[in-house]
Structure 1
Amino acid sequence: MSTLARPGRHYDYVDDGPAIYVESFATIRREASFAGLPADAEKVAVRMVHGSGQVDLVRDLVVHPGLVGAARTALMMGAPILTDARMVAMGITASRLPAGNEVRCFLTDERVPGLAAAWSTTRTAAAVSLWEPYLDGAVVVIGNAPTALFHLMEMLIEGAPRPAAVIGCPVGFIGAAESKEALVALADDHGIDVPYVTVRGRRGGSAMASSALNALAQEQE
């Protein structure tokens, strides 16, 4: 078996893991403004910027004033985490979860293809219907499909149990911006006041959504 050796240094870069971590968060705080966000949501915003590499993300964030308290309490009480995609689930840091919370994604459930075909919708949206038995008091993390967020809101309008909090950050060019605007307007339009965090526009994604959950899971940065 050959002995591995580090290649020679040809570039000047920081390679100390903890130092990279600390300086990354320091850089974000130097370059971003968190004015206008709830005071307790700064760490959530910082992690979402870290997960996206985009300091200007903060100006598009919309954070419900009750988000941090509701999500953190639910997680401490053992609430399940429901995700729209495996990429979101894989981005959640298990060691940060305060109660060994179960992370569930139903996208590969055998019932999903049939439901999607019968309803003429995406498989991601169909999988959301399988959340219903776990939805009451859960923390929802949507970082992929706008159809999943629309489907969730339609379920809530029809009387489905309400989650404790929604991280609604689907990404894309078709429906992403619209689904997130609908989430922001859900309380005014339908009287359903569920704490949420979202980012206006087309931006979003699994890394951004899971970063928000990781921040909510633990106060320590």
Structure 2
Amino acid sequence: MTPVQNTVTEQLTAAGRAIEHDSFAIIDAEVGPHAYSDEQWPLVRRMIHANADFEFNGLTRFHPHAMQAGLRAVLKGGTPIVADVEMICVGLSKPRLAHFGLSTQHYISDADVIRAAQAENSTRAVQAMRKAQRLGQLDGAIVGIGNAPTALIELVRLIREEGVRPALVIAMPVGFVAAAESKDLMMGVDEVPWVAIQGRKGGSTLVVAAIHALLSLAEAAQKAGV
């Protein structure tokens, strides 16, 4: 019996689909051994595909409930995706998001966020996370952080001190100042599921790849009637 193929979360042309599938096949052939589960590997593979970097085999870490929590958040529909920067929102496929009724939010360029950061001598990323919390956007959300370590540090504080409970945190800020440390903080959180990259590597492209992987897995679950 031929398996049902994804349609919404695939490339729009046959040529595009062939290139992507061939890329995944090359990654599978060249990656070597890994310790990821069958549900985790498609996310890691798509991140490798996004950056052509096999080091994400090993650097990518998962909370034990991350994949199940992420799929539930996508499949229930209406889940907000809160990003630290606009780049994540722009990179996500609008038709794929619309299929699941998902919306994206970012606040880092809002005038009130900038004013608060200047007044408190903090970063816009910190104030953007605080604004998202005030607006009730973080509880039950998928939070993607690919650029700003200070956003992730503030999110961990909100989780521990104010009881914020995102559905899933995709913790992948890139950089040299506090990037690795912020992800170490997140990986020490038990209360909220997370996917994180150990060390300095990361970036908004990888957050987008991780979310697109979740969307693809969610479509497959829909078609399987899960």
Q: 2: CA distance between counterparts of 1:110 and 1:125?
A: 14
Q: What's the counterpart of residue 61 of structure 2?
A: 62
Greater alpha carbon shift after TM alignment, 17-26 vs 177-186: 17-26
Q: Deviation of residue 30 (structure 1)?
A: 1.0
Q: 1: CA distance between counterparts of 2:89 and 2:180?
A: 22
Q: What's the counterpart of residue 113 of structure 1?
A: 114
TM-score for the superposition, normalised by structure 1: 0.86
Q: 2: CA distance between counterparts of 1:210 and 1:130?
A: 22
Q: Deviation of residue 33 (structure 1)?
A: 4.0
TM-score for the superposition, normalised by structure 2: 0.84
> Runs of 5+ in structure 1 lacking a partner?
1-15, 188-192
* Maintained 8 Å contact 1:181/1:200: yes
Q: 2: CA distance between counterparts of 1:70 and 1:25?
A: 24
The alignment-based identity, stated in percent, is: 35
For the residue of structure 2 that corresponds to 1:186, the secondary structure is coil
Q: What is the alpha-carbon root mean square deviation over aligned residues? A: 1.5
Change (3 A) 1:121 1:33: farther
Q: What's the counterpart of residue 12 of structure 2?
A: none
Q: 2: CA distance between counterparts of 1:18 and 1:43?
A: 16
Q: What's the counterpart of residue 74 of structure 2?
A: 75
Is 1:147 matched with 2:150? yes
> Runs of 5+ in structure 2 lacking a partner?
1-14, 221-226
Q: 2: CA distance between counterparts of 1:72 and 1:33?
A: 27
* Maintained 8 Å contact 1:33/1:58: no
* Maintained 8 Å contact 1:25/1:50: yes
* Maintained 8 Å contact 2:34/2:57: no
Q: What's the counterpart of residue 127 of structure 1?
A: 128
Q: 1: CA distance between counterparts of 2:126 and 2:85?
A: 11
Q: Deviations over 1:47-95 (max 9, x none)?
A: 1111111012111110112111111111222210000011111111222
* Maintained 8 Å contact 2:169/2:192: yes
Larger Rg: 1
